């Protein structure tokens, strides 16, 4: 299998290289009109087919690696280091991306899969797809070159082959680890597609905005994958790492967040290009930056540039990424300089207070947030270079700098949809903003009464202050979006005789993109509310003998015993705790601690009881070596479940936005005589 | 006149609000429990786990136990927060602080994000104003021709209808 895998990778590299060079030559011939022995159309078709064959070759390599994991082929170094015989089957799959070489192979395979779909759909626009396919082949050459020459996944063990492997990192032995990395990679790799279309469209001076429409679906799906990947990672950190939080501003977390921010900015600003022919250069650079940030993220994970909890994938392939990023940057700059007059804007913004401006400010804030995170991530290196001493840039920095920017962004999320295109009047502002502002101040009062106070024991609590502002702005934004739905729904209800709920559904179906976007914004509001809850986290830790009690918030935990278990993969100890609210026993929890045989590493399995109000989060930290008694740490984390519900809404909103809108004529509408049909046709506006 | 008076009122209100917020942000924790919690969240565990000291959950972690004891002892002996942090830096190096100190070159870390944000904000506002001024001039020059009115109406019809998404 190792030989098959190695050969498959070599063949894939050869096919990708052919795709790149034949494709580039064909496009060059087409552009210049030079005569050639082989017609350029035929050459381009061979390049396309090479791309398709390349995907099959990379699939064969990926299959060879997975097969080797399942057959415990420890003659392959990668399998020896990332698997063992007792590893459960789903985690054997996870072994594919748990190390450097495997994750690069996953990257190449996903890129091949995206390219495969793209090449099958080439009839949509043969020339543009040929450009995009050739650019994707260029990216694929880079990854396959690394896999063949710098980080080969099929390198063989020297000397005697051990009877069993070293096992998978215990941190990765959790169900979400089977989903989180592929999702994240689907997001990372997926941004290669809009990048390829953007660069291709610029190279060929593509007329009009059709390329934006073609890539919209790709970009949204990619953005969705990245969103899911990030949130699955947060949930994994929450459930596995046992520190009670879900986001630690770790450099690798930051690396996944940065392309998400620029990708989000791109999704907003392309609307300006589609609707008004504005921000063309900006959009091109946004998608270039997003792609380069995905490369930077991969570089940060692997090059050991910054210290991170994700250090398991570090290696010396950083130089490859530096060189590739420089090449990508040079190609982008060169193409832009050469073709920039093709990107002349067709309209200009007319007023500072308008929908266009809100998009511009939204982009500005998203990019500032991206800069802040990039700056914080790289500052330790800058500081070391300038002063000779390294500093840590951790959560306190980001909480102080990024949180206010995030709140401003949330504010814009609410304001933007309330502003009309082009310009607005003071009367329109008053009409649209009165209810959200009333909701904002009502929330401040209610939250303050409920205990969200920025003052504790005579000291100012910055976290609580931000949380109070966050709650208030979130509710104001929710009110603004809800009023948009209700206003449109009421118009349709009046015109069709449907009830308000059915009318709102119809409204959404009539303009899925707009109202899908609003649903995503509501999801963001819920996420922010969940994040604000973190300001009020509480914890309590205790070494617990039998029948000992530990109080946390409204709960009292009583230890009624401890036990242990063992299987082929790990030994586990767990505490059994009854949880009381007042005198009433409400449930039982069993936090666990495992020690994996293969690696001899311990791992906590947190017990979480979720309610809409808060999570009771209990960690079995270990046993006191002197007394043998379990040490239990309990956290009461308010509003965490809102975060996960928010993500589900974001996913739902994205699906809605991806659906085609229905035309009024297919909506079985009974428009009364004399009704303003145009208002109905456009979702009640 | 009324507009000016209103404007002055809002500017003064905004100044007062900013001042109040600034004062709030300079007030630190006072009681021992809050100070302990605050300091343990401003420092890192030095065992290599890359976690905030107050959140390191490794049982028997010698680094975090020692560092937490240092904070506890410092508070008990009446040292200021700054003195405690200084002694930790002297012992473990600058990387023990969870955020760069606000002095010397490290101050750049704090200033740069806001400087970039303000510069970008100002630049955007100026750019939009410049665009809208140019447009106003262009509109004046061609305002009253019937062809231009018809064209404007067509543009409004084509671009203003669907609310933006």
**Across the interface, do A352 and B42 touch by the CB < 8 Å criterion?**
no
Q: Say what the pLDDT of residue A677 is.
A: 39
A92-96, A425-429, A502-506, A592-596 — most confident range: A502-506
Domain parsing of chain B, residue ranges:
2-99, 109-159
SS (HEC) of B58-118: CCCCHHHHHHHHHHHHHHHCCCCHHHHHHHHHHHHCHHHECCCCCCHHHHHHHHHHHHHHH
Mean pLDDT of A11-20: 95
Tell me if B100 and A517 make a contact (CB, 8 A cut-off).
no
If asked whether residues A551 and A650 sit together in one domain, one would say no
Round the average pLDDT of chain B to a whole number and report it: 75
Q: What's the predicted TM-score (pTM) here?
A: 0.85
* Residues A655 and A597 placed together within one structural domain of the fold: no
Q: Which residues lie below 8 Å from residue A27, measured CB to CB, with a gap of 6+?
A: A40, A44, A127, A130, A131, A134, A203, A204
A334 in any annotated domain:
yes
Mean pLDDT of A651-673: 71
Most confident region among A118-132, A668-682, B31-45 by mean pLDDT: A118-132
More reliable by pLDDT, A288 or B55: A288
- The model's confidence at residue A387, banded by pLDDT at 50, 70 and 90, is confident
| pLDDT for position B163 | 38
Of B25, B52, B128, Cβ closest to residue A462: B25
Between A427 and A403, name the one with better pLDDT.
A403
Residue A177 pLDDT level (bands cut at 50, 70, 90): confident
Contact A511 B162 (CB under 8 A): yes
- Residue, of A451 and A3, whose pLDDT is higher: A3
Sign, CA dihedral A335-A339-A340-A344, equals: negative
Of A143, A168, A193, which residue constitutes the final position of a domain?
Answer: A168
Chain B contact present for A357, CB below 8 A: yes
Which pLDDT score is estimated for A674?
A: 40
**Mutation for B interface: A282, A396, A424, most B CBs within 10 A:** A396
Dihedral class, residue A550 (left if φ above 0, else alpha if ψ from -120 to 50, else beta): beta
Do A286 and A183 sit in the same domain of this protein? yes
Is the CB of A248 less than 8 angstroms away from the CB of B27? no
Q: How confident is the model at residue A54, as a pLDDT?
A: 93
pLDDT value of position A519: 94
Q: Which chain A residue has the Cα nearest residue B23?
A: A460
Among partner residues B27, B112, B121, which is closest to A364 by beta-carbon distance? B121
Contact B99 A397 (CB under 8 A): yes
The reported pLDDT for the residue numbered A518 is 92
Assess whether A162 and A297 both reside in one domain. Answer: no
* pLDDT tens digits along A193-229: 999 999 999 888 887 677 888 888 889 999 999 999 9
Share of chain A above pLDDT 90, in %: 35
For residue A305, pLDDT over 70 is answered with no
pLDDT at A636: 92
Residue A640 has pLDDT above 90, yes or no: yes
Listed range (A171-175, A271-275, A614-618, B23-27) with the worst mean pLDDT: B23-27
The pLDDT of residue A561 is above 90: no
Nearest CA in chain B to A679: B161
Mean pLDDT of the A424-441 span: 79
A-chain CB neighbours of B161 within 8 Å are 678, 682, 685
Mutate which: A242, A311, A348, A356, vs B, most B CBs within 10 A: A348
Is B17's pLDDT higher than 60?
yes
Last residue of a domain, one of A117, A137, A168: A168
- Cβ separation B27–A460 shorter than 8 A: yes
What distance in Å separates residue A445's CA from the closest CA in chain B? Answer: 17
Mean pLDDT computed over A303-310: 59
State the smallest CA–CA distance between residue B106 and chain A in angstroms: 7
Those residues whose C-beta lies under 8 Å from the C-beta of residue A201, and which sit 6 or more positions away, are A128, A131, A211
Nearest to A167 by CA among A571, A599, A602, A601: A599
In the beta sheet, which residues pair with residue A551? A556
Q: In angstroms, how far is CA A264 from the centroid of its own chain?
A: 10
Distance from CA of B71 to the nearest CA of A (A): 18
pLDDT tens for each residue of A81-110: 888 888 888 888 888 888 888 889 999 999
CA angle, residues A468, A469, A475, in degrees to nearest 5: 90
Identify the DSSP state of A135: H
CA A382 vs CA A201, A249, A310, A319, A391: distances in Å? 36, 18, 21, 18, 9
Q: Let me know if residue A256 belongs to a domain.
A: yes
Please give the pLDDT value at position A93: 84
| CATH class of residue range B2-99 | mainly alpha
Q: Which residues on B lie below 8 Å from A454 (Cβ)?
A: 24
Using a CB-CB cut-off of 8 Å, the residues of chain B touching A281 are none
The per-residue pLDDT for A673 is: 40
Query: Alpha carbon A52 to chain centroid distance?
Result: 28
Residue A387 within any structural domain of the chain:
no
How many contacts does A have with B, using Cβ atoms within 8 A? 174
| Minimum mean pLDDT range among A54-58, A292-296, A301-305, A681-685 | A681-685
Residue A523: which domain range?
Answer: 395-535+643-681
Number of domains in chain A: 4
Residue A623 binned pLDDT confidence (cut-offs 50, 70, 90): confident
Q: Would strands A592-596 and A459-460 be described as parallel, antiparallel, or unpaired?
A: unpaired
Is residue A595 very low, low, confident or very high in pLDDT (cuts 50, 70, 90)?
confident
Residue A424: per-residue pLDDT: 66
Q: Which residue has the higher pLDDT, A276 or A443?
A: A443
- Higher pLDDT residue, B32 or A388? A388
Instruction: Express each pLDDT in A490-504 by its tens digit.
Output: 988 888 888 888 999
What pLDDT is stored for residue B120 in this prediction?
87
Chain A residues in contact with B101 (beta carbon < 8 A): 391
Q: Which of A107, A133, A168 is the last residue of a domain?
A: A168
Q: Which of residues 546-585 of A touch B (CB under 8 A)?
A: none
Same domain, yes or no: A653 and A555:
no
Among A443-452, A669-678, B6-15, the minimum mean pLDDT is found in A669-678
Tell whether A119 and A254 lie within a shared domain: no
Same domain, A563 and A529: no
Same domain membership, residue A256 and residue A160: no
DSSP category for residue A148: I
Percent of residues, chain B, with pLDDT higher than 70: 60
**Length of chain A in terms of residues written:** 685
A323 and A253 together in one domain: yes
pLDDT score, position A684: 37
Determine the Cα angle at A442 with ends A423 and A488, to 5°: 45
Average pLDDT value over all residues in chain A? 85
Q: Is A248 on the interface with B (CB under 8 A)?
A: yes
So what's the pLDDT on residue A114? 94
Contacts of B29 in chain A (CB under 8 A): 456-457, 459
Per-residue confidence band for A670, with pLDDT thresholds at 50, 70 and 90: very low
pLDDT of residue A422: 65
How far apart, in whole angstroms, are the C-alpha atoms of residue A443 and residue A475? 7
Q: Round to the nearest angstrom and report the end-to-end CA distance of chain A.
A: 62
ipTM score = 0.77
The answer to whether residue A478 is domain-embedded is: yes
**One domain, residues A636 and A648:** no
Residues of A in contact with B126 (CB under 8 A): none
Report pLDDT for A389: 82
- Cβ–Cβ gap B29/A457 under 8 Å: yes
> Which secondary structure element, helix H or strand E, spans residue A637, and what is its range?
strand A630-638
- Rg of chain B taking only CA atoms, in angstroms: 28
Q: What is the band of A310 on the pLDDT scale with cuts at 50, 70, 90? A: low
Residue A619 sits in the same domain as residue A509: no
pLDDT class of B8 with cuts at 50, 70, 90:
low
Phi, psi of A257 (to 5 degrees): -80, -35
- Structure-model confidence comparison of residues B32 and A146, the more confident one: A146
A676 and A635 both lie in a single domain: no
């Amino acid at each position: 299998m190792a030989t098959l895998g190695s050969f498959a990778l070599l063949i894939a590299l050869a096919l990708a290289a052919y795709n790149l060079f034949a494709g580039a030559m064909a496009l060059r011939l087409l552009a210049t009109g030079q005569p050639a022995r082989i017609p350029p159309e035929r050459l381009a078709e061979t390049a396309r087919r090479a791309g398709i064959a390349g995907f099959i070759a990379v699939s064969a390599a990926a299959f060879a690696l997975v097969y080797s994991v399942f057959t415990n082929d420890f003659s392959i170094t990668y399998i020896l280091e990332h698997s063992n015989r007792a590893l459960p089957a789903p985690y054997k799959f996870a072994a594919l991306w748990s190390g450097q070489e495997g994750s690069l192979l996953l990257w190449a395979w996903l890129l091949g899969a995206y390219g495969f779909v793209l090449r099958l759909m080439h009839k949509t626009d043969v020339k543009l797809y040929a450009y995009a396919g050739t650019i994707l082949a260029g990216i694929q050459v880079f990854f396959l070159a690394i896999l063949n020459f710098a980080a080969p996944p099929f390198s063989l063990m020297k000397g005697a082959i051990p009877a069993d492997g070293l096992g998978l990192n215990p941190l990765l032995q959790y169900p979400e680890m089977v989903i989180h990395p592929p999702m994240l990679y689907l997001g990372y790799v997926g941004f290669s597609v809009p990048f390829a279309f953007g660069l291709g469209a610029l190279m060929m001076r593509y007329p009009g905005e059709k390329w934006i429409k073609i890539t919209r679906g790709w970009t949204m799906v990619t953005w969705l994958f990245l969103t899911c990947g990030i949130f699955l990672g947060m949930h994994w950190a929450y459930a596995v790492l046992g520190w009670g939080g879900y986001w630690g501003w770790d450099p690798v977390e930051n690396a996944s967040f940065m392309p998400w921010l620029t990708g989000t900015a791109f999704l907003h600003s392309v609307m300006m290009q589609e609707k008004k022919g504005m921000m063309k250069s900006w959009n091109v650079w946004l998608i270039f930056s997003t792609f380069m940030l995905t490369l930077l993220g991969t570089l940060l994970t692997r090059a050991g540039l910054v210290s991170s909890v994700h250090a398991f994938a570090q290696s010396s392939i950083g130089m490859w990424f530096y060189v590739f990023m420089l090449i990508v940057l040079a190609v982008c700059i060169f193409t832009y300089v050469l073709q920039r007059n093709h990107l002349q804007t067709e309209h200009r913004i007319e007023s500072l207070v308008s929908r266009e401006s809100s998009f511009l400010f939204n982009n500005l804030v998203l990019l500032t947030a991206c800069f802040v995170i990039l700056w914080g991530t790289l500052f330790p290196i800058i500081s070391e270079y300038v002063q000779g001493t390294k500093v840590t840039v951790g959560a306190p920095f980001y909480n102080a700098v990024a949180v206010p920017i995030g709140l401003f962004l949330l504010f814009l999320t609410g304001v933007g949809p309330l502003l009309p295109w082009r310009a607005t009047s003071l009367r329109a502002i008053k009409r649209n903003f009165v209810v959200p502002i009333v909701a904002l101040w009502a929330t401040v009062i209610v939250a303050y009464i409920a205990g969200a106070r920025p003052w504790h024991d005579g000291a100012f609590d910055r976290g609580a202050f931000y949380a109070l502002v966050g709650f208030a702005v979130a509710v104001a934004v929710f009110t603004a979006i809800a009023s948009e739905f209700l206003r449109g729904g009421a118009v349709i209800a009046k015109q069709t005789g449907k009830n308000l709920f059915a009318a709102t559904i119809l409204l959404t179906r009539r303009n899925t993109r707009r109202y899908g976007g609003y649903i995503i914004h509501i999801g963001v509001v819920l996420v922010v509310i969940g994040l604000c809850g973190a300001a009020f986290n509480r914890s309590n830790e205790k070494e617990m003998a039998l029948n000992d009690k530990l109080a946390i918030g409204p709960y009292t935990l009583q230890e009624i015993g401890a036990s242990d278990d063992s299987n082929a993969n790990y030994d586990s100890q767990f505490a059994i705790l009854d949880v009381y609210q007042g005198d009433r026993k409400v449930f039982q929890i069993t936090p666990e601690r495992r020690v994996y045989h293969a690696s001899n590493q311990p791992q906590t399995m947190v017990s979480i009881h979720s309610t809409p109000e808060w999570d009771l989060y209990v960690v079995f930290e270990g046993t006191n070596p002197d007394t043998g008694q379990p040490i239990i740490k309990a956290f009461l984390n308010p509003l965490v479940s809102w975060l996960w519900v928010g993500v589900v809404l974001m996913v739902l909103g994205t699906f809605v936005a991806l659906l085609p809108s229905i035309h009024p004529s297919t909506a079985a509408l009974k428009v009364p005589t004399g009704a303003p049909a145009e208002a109905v046709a456009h979702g009640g506006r | 006149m009324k507009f000016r008076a209103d404007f002055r009122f809002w500017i003064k209100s905004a100044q007062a609000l900013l001042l109040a917020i600034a004062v709030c942000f300079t007030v630190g924790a006072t009681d021992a429990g809050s100070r302990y919690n605050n300091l343990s969240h401003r420092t890192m565990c030095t065992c290599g786990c890359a976690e905030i000291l107050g959140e390191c959950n490794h049982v028997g972690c010698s680094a975090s136990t020692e560092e937490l004891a240092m904070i506890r002892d410092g508070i008990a002996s009446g040292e200021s927060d700054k003195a405690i942090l200084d002694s930790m830096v002297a012992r473990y190096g600058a990387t023990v602080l969870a955020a760069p100190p606000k002095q010397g070159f490290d101050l750049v870390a704090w200033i740069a994000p806001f400087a970039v944000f303000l510069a970008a904000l100002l630049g955007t506002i100026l750019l939009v104003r410049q665009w809208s001024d140019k447009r106003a001039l262009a509109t004046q020059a061609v305002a009253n021709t019937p062809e231009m009115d018809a064209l404007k109406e067509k543009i409004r019809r084509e671009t203003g209808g669907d609310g933006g998404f």
